[in-house]
């Protein structure tokens, strides 16, 4: 009787691991899912966090969305806003 050899993964330079696609599918792990990591009795255990709720109500999730829209410097932004203000007033 032979047993299947478990897949092996490699630790990358920034401590990153890539789960084999088959394992991720079996565990129903998707992009941006969170996992808890524990080390117990010589074993590293990854467990999916059950909640898949993505909080988009936090204002900081929108930070940088329009970077450069009104100018690249503070002076350019001020000038653009002044121009828009003048258009509204006329």
What's the whole-number average pLDDT of the chain? Answer: 85
Mean pLDDT of 74-87: 91
Q: Full-prediction pTM beyond 0.85? A: no
Non-local CB neighbours of 34 within 8 Å, separated by 6+ positions: 48, 49
Is residue 70 scored above 90 in pLDDT? no
Q: Which domains does the chain have, with CATH numbers?
A: 10-50 (2.10.260.10)
CB 80 within 8 A of CB 70: yes
Q: How far apart are CA 49 and CA 41, in angstroms?
A: 21
| Residue 79: CB atoms within 10 Å | 13
DSSP per-residue letters across 28-52: T--TT--EEEEEETTEEEEEE-S--
């Amino acid at each position: 009787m032979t047993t299947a050899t478990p897949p092996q993964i490699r630790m990358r330079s920034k401590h990153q691991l890539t789960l084999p696609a088959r394992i991720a599918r079996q565990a129903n792990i998707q992009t941006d899912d969170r996992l808890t990591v524990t080390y117990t009795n010589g074993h590293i255990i990854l467990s999916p966090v059950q909640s898949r709720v993505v909080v988009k109500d936090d204002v900081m999730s929108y930070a940088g969305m329009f970077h450069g829209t009104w100018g690249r410097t503070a002076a350019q932004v001020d000038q653009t806003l002044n121009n828009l203000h003048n258009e509204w007033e006329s």
